[in-house]
Structure formats: structure tokens, C-alpha cells
Structure 1
Amino acid sequence: MDWDPAFTERNAILATLGGLVPIEDVRWPPLSELNRLLAVHLPVRFIDNDHFAELGCGYEEAVSLGMVPTRADNWHDFFGALIWYLFPRTKALLNRLHMQDIEDCGSRRRTPRRDRLTHFDECGLVLAVPECHELEPLLLEHDWQQLFLANRPRWGRDWQPFVFGHALYEQALSPFIGFTGKAVLVEMEPGFFRLPTHQRYPLLDARLSTHLEHSALFDRPRPLLPVPLLGIPGWWPANEDPAFYLNRDYFRPKRNR
């Protein structure tokens, strides 16, 4: 897909990046621009993916050395750079956890924990809430009617979704029925929800990284909760009609295991 300098205006999901991205290029921003605008305060720099093979190491090893292989003119890697900019502490934590497993098991073995880390890195959604016990049971039970309709006024007020997985932003360029994120719930203080958006990200990043590290979330199977993203109020025009949530192929009932 070609570069779109107005990508944050394509839909409400990408609009969550509005005012946060200091990039206004009319063409694909080069790596030098990404490093100048996004990586000034980061522990990493974005390097040309074509030079990655010259490093003689794996992707996570390169990141641990402060280098993020990045493909030119590529939406997936562009959004990956933006997530580094918005969630630097959490991204660094994920790399440290990858490196722990690499040091213990070698780079050729993909441990279950590394698979879970990658899943969150690609498809993660962070739900900032005042109290997890209100929302978590609805996600666990796939109670979409209560989640999205009965509690509709809470979305955007004190139930606030933040995209973490860069693959989700790439998919949001052309949303589709089936578009799903894998959520982690993070409790935030009441004042958080009243802050301007740009002030929320550093606080959320700090709390998310602490939560993931102390909870050892990725040490256990199925740690993430599926969320049909087009069902989030305000994120997709069709969900203004309650009948939208009757599509059981998308809003799937909980399976008995």
C-alpha cells in the first residue's frame, strides 16, 4: 500500500494516533527521519533492514544491541517504530524477556513464552480501566452485549483502549470483520482518564511495563483476552446499530473447554 500522509484520518482507530505522530511527510519518511523524530529519547535506533544480515545475529539480539531492523516504505515497520515511540519501556521489557529465553534456550528454539510475547507485540491491545474486576469477567465470558451495549457510555470515558500491536495498526488501514486484538487490562488512577492523550502514554507505558514484569503474564498459557476491535464503541460506524453485535461469527460465544 502506498504512503498516505493523512493516514490518521482514515478511521477512528488510526485517529487515536492523531496529534501524537510528529511526521507530516508527503512521501514515505526515510529512516533518518524516523530516527530524528521518534528515536531521540529511545534506547534504540532504527537501522536499514537490508543491512540486518551483516550483523550476523537474530532480530531480538539486534534490538538488545540498540538496533531495530526496519524495512523502508513498509507500513508494518513504520507502525512498529511508532509503538517504540509511544511505549519505549514496554518494548524494551519485551526484548529483555526474549533475550532471557534466548540465553537460556538458544536463538533457534522458540519457547512458548517467546511466542506469547510476539503475539502481544503484534496484536496487543491495552485496556486502561479504573478496576479490572468490572471488565475482565465480561471479556472472559465473551459477554459482548454487556461489554459493548450495556456499558457503552463507559468506553472512551473510563474504559480506554490503546493499540499496542503494530500489526493491528497495519490492519486498521483496511479494517475487516474478524479484526481482533488480544488485550491486557491495566488499572490506572482516576486522574489518568482526564489527562490529554499525549500525557497518558508515558504513564500507561510505565504501568504496563511494571505490570507485565511483576505479573509474569507471559509465563502462563493463553494470557491475553480477545477483543473484537470493530465492536469498540466509537471505533466503527456500523456498531452504532445494536444488530451489528448479533454476528456470532465475529462476536463469538465462549467455547466450553
Structure 2
Amino acid sequence: MAGTGVLQCPMDTSGWADALPAATPTPAPWFAPWQPTIVAVRQRLAAGEALHAALDAEGRARGAPVGFVPQQDLPAGQAYEDYIFKSKRVPVRAGLHDFFNGICWLGLPGVKARMNALQAAEIAARGVGATRGPIRDALTVLDENGAFLYAPEPLWDALAARAWSVLFGALRPLWAQTQLLVFGHAALEKLVRPYKSITVHVWRVRSPWSDLRALEAQVVPELLPERLAAKPFAPLPVLGVPLWWPANADPGFYDDPAVFRPARARPASG
């Protein structure tokens, strides 16, 4: 598997851009679906544009539903998601976290806009309190650490049960029939410097997709408050995916209960 590579960006004095994925013919599998968008924004950064300006220019070229502005444009006291929904502008701080958030907005704008609308509706109905509530919690999980997976039924059942020895052992050949997109921008940020325990929260997609637009067409109609409230995610230590990390070719890679945790025992009824 190819390494992530780095982009040398000497005009960026903060140094964060030095860690950006390089434009290689064989990008790391978690970056591969995003590669055209990453490269386009990289080029603008290399030309000297600030991150918010680079994302904004690329968004305008693509007809994105939002623009991108510096973080200081967010009014004091206004909730971030509420500001995006009302202004159609995304505040941006220079750094990897907001870089990948912008990449996801450019790559799956319909998914991000739907999630933002649901966040704003929850804020309008319930305000911003000490707790987000189940719907906003689920949206945050998906936004920060989510992934979309199409998989054959036996593979999904094993994942949902956290039956790791089955998932990555007996069923290992079935991974060739899957599609997995890491969507959470915090997860993508972590994967710039991969480590074994990085875990994504998987949202099941029912059919394979040909490109990001086709994936979006499946996901957007299923982003419903009632489904989100049920938190329909399955945890997946992403470096365990076959062919995504060389070390997992050794079956002993999975003998690590701190990462590949067993399912929680259900309380006894009585």
C-alpha cells in the first residue's frame, strides 16, 4: 500500500500544510476517492492562497451550495451549524481538520448540506444546551468519524456483531466485494499519520456506487431524524480492512482487544 506522502509548502509558516497528502498515482486507499478534490485544493494552496480562499474558489468552480470564509466571520455567540445554514458560508481555520472538512463539502455537498439542515433544525427546535441530543450526537459522529460501507450481508452481520475473527478471517475474501469511503473529516485528519486504533463509525449503504454523486444519491434520502436517533453505526478499526494496511496480512494483527474490542454484553432480562 502506498504511503500518504507529504506536500512541501514552504509559504505556509504554520507548517500544517506540510502534512497534506501528496498527489501520487497510488494514493492511500482512504484518500483515493477524495484525491481529485485534494489535488485541486492543494494546487491553490501551493499558489499561495489561504485555505478558506482556496476552498471558496474551488467551490465556486464546482457550484458548491456553500462558500468558505475565515473563522473570524462567525459571529460571537452564534452556533457554527446555525451560521452555515443561514449564511451558506463555512467558517474555516487554517489546519488539517478544516482542510478535510472543506474537502468533504466539495466532494459530497449534498450529504453535508443535508446534515447541516438537520443540525440547524435541531438547534432551532431545542437551542444549544449542555447536551446535543441523540440526533445531533449522531450527526456529529458521522461528520467527524463516519464512513460509508457497502458490503455483502454476511460481512455486515459480522461487523455489527464485532465478530472480528470471522470478519477478517473466514470472510476475508468477501472484502473484495465491498466499497468503503471514510467520510469523517476528523478520521481523515488522523489518517494523515495512520495508527492502528483509528476507528470509524460505519453507516451502511445498500448498493454499490459508481462515483461520489451516485453515493450521495443513496445517502441523502436516508439521512432521516428517526434513523439518526437510533445511531445505526458499527465501529470499524479502519486499518484492519484487508489491503488497506500491510501489517494486517498477519492474522496476529487482529489479536489486540484494545483495538478490536468484543461486543458489549447485553444486560440480562429478568
> 1:90, 1:107 → 2: CA distance?
23
Shift of 1:219: 1.7
Q: 2:37, 2:103 within 8 Å by CA — same for their partners in 1?
A: no
Counterpart for residue 176 of structure 1: 195
> 2:35, 2:69 → 1: CA distance?
25
Taking structure 1 as the reference length, the TM-score comes to: 0.85
Higher RCO (CA 8 Å, separation ≥ 6 residues)? 1
Counterpart for residue 227 of structure 2: 217
Aligned residue for 2:69, secondary structure, equals: strand
> 2:127, 2:155 → 1: CA distance?
38
Counterpart for residue 205 of structure 1: 216
Aligned residue for 2:74, secondary structure, equals: helix
The number of residue pairs the alignment matches comes to 242
* Structure 1 unaligned blocks of 5 or more: none
Counterpart for residue 3 of structure 2: none
Within the candidate set 10, 16, 19, 2:36 is matched to 19
Counterpart for residue 234 of structure 1: 243
Deviates more, 1:28-37 or 1:180-189: 28-37
> 2:236, 2:49 → 1: CA distance?
32
Q: Does 1:47 align with 2:69?
A: yes
Counterpart for residue 161 of structure 2: 141
Letter in 2 for 1:125: A
User: What's the C-alpha RMSD, in Å, of the aligned pairs?
Assistant: 2.2
Judging changes above 3 Å, is the alpha-carbon distance between structure 1 residues 249 and 218 closer, same or farther for their aligned structure 2 residues? Answer: same
Shift of 1:158: 2.4
Counterpart for residue 133 of structure 2: 111
Judging changes above 3 Å, is the alpha-carbon distance between structure 1 residues 26 and 6 closer, same or farther for their aligned structure 2 residues? Answer: farther
Taking structure 2 as the reference length, the TM-score comes to: 0.81
Q: Tell me the alpha carbon deviations over residues 71-106 of structure 1, each in whole angstroms, 9 at most, x when there is no partner.
A: 12x100000001011111111111111122112111
Judging changes above 3 Å, is the alpha-carbon distance between structure 1 residues 82 and 253 closer, same or farther for their aligned structure 2 residues? Answer: same
Shift of 1:27: 6.8
| Identical aligned residues as a percent | 32
Q: Tell me the alpha carbon deviations over residues 143-162 of structure 1, each in whole angstroms, 9 at most, x when there is no partner.
A: 1122223233332x421110
> 1:28, 1:147 → 2: CA distance?
46
Aligned residue for 1:187, secondary structure, equals: coil
Counterpart for residue 252 of structure 1: 261
> 2:63, 2:173 → 1: CA distance?
37
Q: Tell me the alpha carbon deviations over residues 91-129 of structure 1, each in whole angstroms, 9 at most, x when there is no partner.
A: 111111112211211133522221121111100010023
Q: 1:8, 1:16 within 8 Å by CA — same for their partners in 2?
A: no
> 1:159, 1:101 → 2: CA distance?
34
Judging changes above 3 Å, is the alpha-carbon distance between structure 1 residues 233 and 89 closer, same or farther for their aligned structure 2 residues? Answer: same
